[in-house]
Structure 1
């Protein structure tokens, strides 16, 4: 009887060291962090257009850029990705591309505001710029936290002893980290004068 009890204890210890609990915990953490990324993007998508509508009247000459922001927002919110899609690089890339287009539209809006100092004096533009900055900071933090969780999960499913449980019990696949768009490392051109 003692031998069986010791054998059962040894078996439980071996299984506990094989990722039975740690692999799904790490995977769920990465999925939760992905939800935070989506929430940050959704907050930006919800907040910025409302502010854009507020400043539209004061920026009739910049209507094209504002329209681009609204259209890019619509596209950014139409591309959805679920936690189950995180192992599909194409779906993650499509989501990132839509978000990058929205971010580029916002960047053009800010550049036009800087080019016309009389628009900067309006409180609505300052509020818009503050919200854009705050939204982008939230996104940066959410993406960083997501990538940290993905790294922890991907490391866990590839290292001993958790790799055993990850492979045998869960068929675990690496999760795709969020990546910056190509060329993001370059400093953007900012001009305060006329481009003529």
Structure 2
């Protein structure tokens, strides 16, 4: 009778331990899913702001083309940069693919640089910068660039929170059980020299 009781207690203890471990694994998995979804949602916001910027370019280029003798090379640089962005179609899981993520960031940064140069060159054309259409587009573009910076920062925060959770013990064990389901998120890196204000030469 005593042996049966001991066996029963051991069985209950094992069952309870398995239940607790299973519950902990489920809770950890669900937490990883929530953090992953939060990072993906923030990534979607980054893509939305990039798309908004891309949508402004045709009107901006058309407005600038109206200025007599406006530097053709500057306009070409912007349209080509926009075209390159369109060619770099990121996969759905781009945030977990270092090479594709870097290519996408590089294409977007090149477009941002080309647009900045266009606005600097435009300052040499008072007749252009005095038009309401140009001023409106410039304000929209500057606002969009600010939103891009904010959304990229928020994405980095969401990615960092996910990566920290994924690397922590025992979460890393649970993440490892699901193979490629939970992989590290990539971060937006600041461009070299972005900590210093740009030098504009006239």
C-alpha distance in 2 between matches for 1:59 and 1:36: 37
Partner of 1:186: 196
Please tell me whether residue 102 in structure 1 is matched to residue 135 in structure 2: no
| Higher RCO by CA contacts (8 Å cutoff, separation 6 or greater) | 1
The gaps in structure 1 that reach 5 residues or longer are: none
C-alpha distance in 2 between matches for 1:183 and 1:89: 22
Change beyond 3 A, Cα 1:83–1:152: farther
User: How far is the alpha carbon of 1:79 from its aligned partner?
Assistant: 0.8
Partner of 1:129: 138
1:74 to 48, 72, 83: 83
| Secondary structure of the corresponding residue to residue 58 of structure 1 | coil
Q: Does the 8 Å contact 1:51/1:128 carry over to 2? A: yes
Identify the range of structure 1 (68-77 vs 115-124) with the bigger mean alpha-carbon deviation: 115-124
Q: Which has the larger radius of gyration?
A: 2
The gaps in structure 2 that reach 5 residues or longer are: 1-7
Identify the range of structure 1 (136-145 vs 161-170) with the bigger mean alpha-carbon deviation: 161-170
TM-score, normalisation: structure 2 = 0.83
Please tell me whether residue 21 in structure 1 is matched to residue 39 in structure 2: no
- After superposition, residues 2-13 of structure 1 pair within 5 angstroms as 3=12, 6-7=16-17, 9-13=19-23
2:149 to 136, 140, 143: 140
Q: Would you identify which runs of 4 or more consecutive aligned residues in structure 1 move more than 6 Å?
A: none
User: How far is the alpha carbon of 1:169 from its aligned partner?
Assistant: 3.0
Please tell me whether residue 58 in structure 1 is matched to residue 62 in structure 2: no
Identify the range of structure 1 (132-141 vs 54-63) with the bigger mean alpha-carbon deviation: 54-63
Partner of 2:58: 49
Summarize deviations over 1:86-105 as a string: whole Å, max 9, x none: 22222111111111111111
User: How far is the alpha carbon of 1:31 from its aligned partner?
Assistant: 1.7
User: How far is the alpha carbon of 1:164 from its aligned partner?
Assistant: 2.1
C-alpha distance in 2 between matches for 1:135 and 1:52: 16
